Homo-oligomer: A and B are copies of this chain.
Amino acid sequence: MKINVLENQGVTAPNGFSAGSAMAGVKTPGRYDLTIVYSTVPATMAAVFTENIVRAAPVTVSQAHLKANQGRGRAVVFNSGCANACTGDKGAADAAQMTQTAAEALGCSGEEVLVASTGVIGAYLPMDKILAGIGAAAAAMDEKGGGTAARAIMTTDLIPKEIAIELEAGGKTVTIGAMAKGSGMIHPNMATLLAMVTTDCAIEAGLLREALGEACDATFNMVTVDGDTSTNDSLFVIANGAAGNEVLRGSADAGYREFVEGLTYVCKHLAQLIARDGEGATKYIEMKVEGAKSRQDARLAAKAVVGSSLVKAAIYGKDANWGRILCAMGYSGADFDPDAVDLYIGDVQMMDKGKALIFDEAAALVWLEKDEVRILAKLNGGEGEATAWGCDLTHEYVTINGSYRS
């Protein structure tokens, strides 16, 4: 299957989408911190939210709207600088008011609008600024507004994260655009604070939800920065049918697998960008596990390695301390035989069938000095495989998170 990447495009790449952003001044004046992504025609929506039982107000409001509206919807309002989490009834009312104000400005119903917030937990939204920002963002709606939208959702991210692709599905060209923010409080079960996917594919809401779950499972749920699953994690998709394909209604329909593959492609791209741009990160880590008894065992093992503070610190220090890698797989919950494991950093083998090898430290250092460190464990116990992404643990991570509120 051919996937055509559209350079420098994001959520407004698909037909029938626009985005408007504003400098609301939630936390820092003079930077974009509020954005609305909008389908100009009626659309279906799906979302995956945090599994943290402490759910921010925008999460509960978005869940309620999706349910009430049976997966139909038009827009998502995002703000950065304040997470509107741990804010009780007032927070819930504030989040609902954001959707209502956006709906009035856009000319749709409040339930067609979802909402997402990111930033400090436990602070109330400055509603005067937020509502003025929503008005300004709605007035700034632009079919080329995706790039600014991707910047508006950033917090400690250093680079905006967006992608757009084209593919053929059901005889039509379908476009998928997406953006995300990540950086900290990033851990599987929703591994990104906020991500938004748009597509002009025509697809029924239930099937869209299924497709999103499959894509998320292999991508956002395989990235970790610090092991902290946030209160606000939200991944949204809007599909507006503007591509003109026959509506996808079942997983056997022509074009569905292509659509899922495309959706997975953009989610994987963003998940990897989040790992690369982890707070304080100097190195991107890709951990691949092969030969596990099941895919789930492979997932557990791979995620534990990229989540281990000790592995992450060793990679920061370019130290081929591979025992920590095996140790992390060992406590991951994955079922495997330690005496069957082959382990590699780059192409240097450290362990052969569970036994330590005398390896060339200089050769290992060549691989550890790269910006991208690739680790491979062959468990030699089955066919399960998985890849997880993460970053190193650095002095800068500690600096950033020792003074996040300041």
Contacts and interface: CB of A to CB of B under 8 A. Distances in A.
A330 B83 contact: no
Given A87-B355, A326-B121, A398-B394, A52 B313 contact: no
Contacts of A327: 52, 54, 85, 121, 185, 228-231
Contact of A313 (B51, B55, B124, B397): B397
Interface in A115-160: 120-124
Contact of A310 (B55, B184, B321, B406): B184
Contacts of A121: 321, 323-324, 326-327
Nearest to A356: B122
A399 B403 contact: no
A395 B401 contact: no
A320 B121 CA distance: 11
A281 to B, nearest CB: 12
> How many chain copies does the complex carry?
2
Most chain B CB within a 10 A radius of its CB, from A308, A397, A405:
A405
A317 interface: yes
A397 B351 CA distance: 27
B122 A351 contact: yes
A322 interface: yes
A26 B323 CA distance: 18
Nearest to A317: B402
A347 interface: no
Interface of A: 51-55, 83, 85-88, 120-124, 184-185, 187, 189, 226-231, 307-310, 313-314, 316-324, 326-331, 335-336, 338-339, 350-351, 354-356, 393-395, 397-406
